[in-house]
Structure 1
C-alpha cells in the first residue's frame, strides 16, 4: 500500500514542481462538471492549509509581518499590511464574480491578486490564488490551464511544511486525476485516484481511536467526505470506461459515506443514488436499478432537488429497459416539463431523443 501511495504522489507532485510558474492564458471554453461542490462544505483542507469555504477568513487572519518591529520598519509594515488587505479584497471580488458567472472578470481580478501576492512574497495568498484560478479554469473546461495551476499550488504547498497526506494536497490530486481522466491519460488518472483513496483510507484508520479533543469531529467528517468525493469521481471514471462492477462498488461506498455524514435527503446523497441506479441499469440489473432510481426520485421531489429532471429522466430510461413503456413515457414527459421550466436545453434535447427511442421500442414490441 505504501508503495502505491508513493508512486501516485510521485507522478502528481513531481509534475507539480515543474509547473510553479504557470499562468492562466486567455481563452473561452464551456463550463464542465456538475459535482464536487455538493459534498458538504467542500471537503478539503486539513491542518496547515487554507480552510474550506472559510479561506478568506484564514487569509484575513494570517499576517507575515511582526508587530514588534523596530521604528524604522513601521512604514514598510503598514505598506505590506495594506497590500495584504488589497489581496483579500481582490479575492473576495473574484469569488463573487465566479458565483455570478462572470468568469472573464474573475480571471482578470485573480491575475491582479496573483501579481500582488508575488510582489509581496505572500506565499499563502499565492497558493490560494493559484487554487482559485485553477478551479475557475476547471469550471470553464480549460483543462490544460487547470492542470498547470493546480500543480503550481501543490508545488508551493509541498515546498512548505505541509504533509503529503494533508487534505489540501489530496483534494488537488483528485482534481488532477479528474483532469487526466478527461484527457484519457489513464496511467496518471489511475495513479491519482489510487493515491487519493488509499491515503484517505489510511488516515481514517488512524483517526478511528482518536478522541474528539485530539481530532475535532469536523476534521474527521471532512476527511470522510473527501473520501466520498474521491470514490464518486473514480466511479464516474470507471463507468465511462465500462468497468461497471468496480464502478458499482465505488458508488456504493460513496453513497454510504454521504448517507452517514450528510443524511439521506442531502442533494449529493440523491445524486449518488441516481448514479448507482445508472451503473446497475448498465449491467442489466433493472430491478435493483429501479429500486435505487425510484428512491432517488422520491427524495428529489421531496427536497425540490435542482436536478430532479435528470433523476426523472434516469428512472424513465430504466423503466424503458424494463419494457414498462407507459410509465416510462409519463416519466419522460414530467422530466421534459421540468427541463423546459429550468431552461436546460441540453436535457430537453436528450429527453426528446429518449422519447423518440421509446416510441420506436413500443412500435417494435407490438
Structure 2
C-alpha cells in the first residue's frame, strides 16, 4: 500500500492511496482491456447462450482499446487498454466450428485475461506462456508482441517491477522495429509506466526525467494530431502519476496542479461519475492536507464518497471514510473522527477489504493514543 505522510504536524499521519481495481492510476490499461464480463448464470445452457451473444461484442470492445496500445493496469483498477497494433482486427471473428490456430490463440488469450480479472495471477501467467508458444508456433508477430505486453502489465500489477521493465523493453524494441517512433503514443505509454515504476521503487530522479520527457511527447501529439481519446487518457494517467511523484518530493502545489489537470481530462472523457475520478479526488485530498487546507481536503473526499456511493463501490467507500476520519482527527475533532472511522471499519469488514480495515484501525489507534495522552 502507498501512504502519504503529513509532515506539517507534530504527529505524522498516513493517508492511504486508493489502489483501484484496474486503474490504480497505478493501474494498468491492461485491466480496462481485461474487463470481460462473466455473468452469474448457474445453468450451463443459459451461460452458453449468453456467451454466444456477448463474446463478439467483447472482442470488438477490446479491439477499440488496443488500436492505440492502451494496455492498462489502474490501478484497480485501472489502471485503463489500447495498443499500437490492432491485434483483434487481425484475430478476425470466426464461428465456433471454424477452429484454427488463430482462434485457439484468441481463446487462450481470453482465458488468460479472465484469470487476471479474477486475480488468479499464477494461472494467468501459465496460460500466457502457453499462448506465447502458440503464437510462436504460427509465427504471429502481432500476437507475440501483444502477449508480451499483457505479461508486462501483469508483472507490474504484481509489483514484479524488474520483470515488468524487461518485458516492456522487449515490447518497445518490437514496436520501434515495426516503424513506431520514440514519440508515438504507443511508446509514450510504455515510457509513462516505466517512469511510474521507477517512482514506486524509489528512484525519484529517474522517474522525474521519465515523466518530463513523456509529458513533452504527449503534448506534441496533442498539438499535431486531431483529438484522440486514447492520447487524452494517457495524458490524464501520466499527469496523475506525476502528481504522485511530486507528493513524494514535497512539491505540493505542483502535485495539486497535476492532479487537477488529470481530474479535468478524465472527467471530460468519462463524465463526472467514474472510479478513475475517485482516485484523483483522493489524491487531491491528501495534497490539501499537506497544504493544511483541511476544508479543501474534506470537500474532495466527500465528493469522492458521493461518487463511490453512486457507483455502489463499497470497497472504495471504506478507504475514503477512513481517510475522512483522519482529516477530522487532524483538525482535533476526535469524536467525529472516531465515529467516521468506526463506520469505515464496519464497511471494510462487510466487504472483506483489508486495506479499508487496516486504515480504519490505524485511524482509531491514533485517536486512542491522542486521547490517552490528554
TM-score range, shorter chain: 0.7 to 0.9
Per-residue displacement from partner, 1:279-322 (whole Å, max 9, x unpaired)? 11022121221222222222322332240111111111111112
The CA RMSD measured in Å over matched residues stands at 3.1
Counterpart pick for 1:350 among 349, 359, 363: 359
1:83–1:120: 8 Å Cα contact kept in structure 2? yes
- In structure 2, the partner of 1:274 is 282
Matches for 1:324-339 after TM superposition, within 5 Å: 324-339=333-348
TM-score where L is the length of structure 2: 0.74
SS at match of 2:280: helix
**1: CA distance between counterparts of 2:307 and 2:23?**
22
Aligned residues: 308
**Cα displacement (A) at 1:334:** 1.2
Runs of 4+ in 1 over 6 A off after TM superposition: 48-52
| Aligned counterpart, 1:146 | 164
Between the aligned partners of 2:127 and 2:200, the Cα distance in structure 1 is: 28
The answer for the alignment partner of 1:62 in structure 2 is: 90
Distance 1:265 1:60 in 2: 29
Which among 300, 303, 307 is matched to residue 308 of structure 2?
A: 300
CA 1:50 to 1:145, structure 2 compared with 1: closer, same or farther past 3 Å? closer
Matches within 5 A, 1:227-246: 227-246=235-254
Q: Which has the larger radius of gyration?
A: 1
Q: 1:252 to 1:39 in 2, by over 3 A?
A: farther
Q: Deviations over 1:229-273 (max 9, x none)?
A: 001111112223333222111111111112222122111112211
Alignment of 1:105 onto 2:105: no
TM superposition shift of 1:53: 4.9
Report 1 or 2 for greater relative contact order, CA contacts < 8 Å, sequence distance ≥ 6: 1
* TM superposition shift of 1:39: 11
For residues 5-61 of structure 1, the C-alpha deviation after alignment (integer angstroms, 9 at most, x for no partner) is xxxxxxxxxxxxxxxxxxxxxxxxxx9983335999569656589998577x94343
TM-score, length of structure 1 as denominator length? 0.75
2:204 is the counterpart of 1:186? yes
Aligned pairs for 1:154-169 within 5 A: 154-169=172-187
Is there any run of 5+ residues in structure 1 with no aligned partner, and where? 1-30, 65-80
User: Contact 1:40/1:225 (CA < 8 Å) preserved in 2?
Assistant: no
CA deviation map 1:118-161 (0-9, x unaligned): 34332111110100111111111111111100111111001112
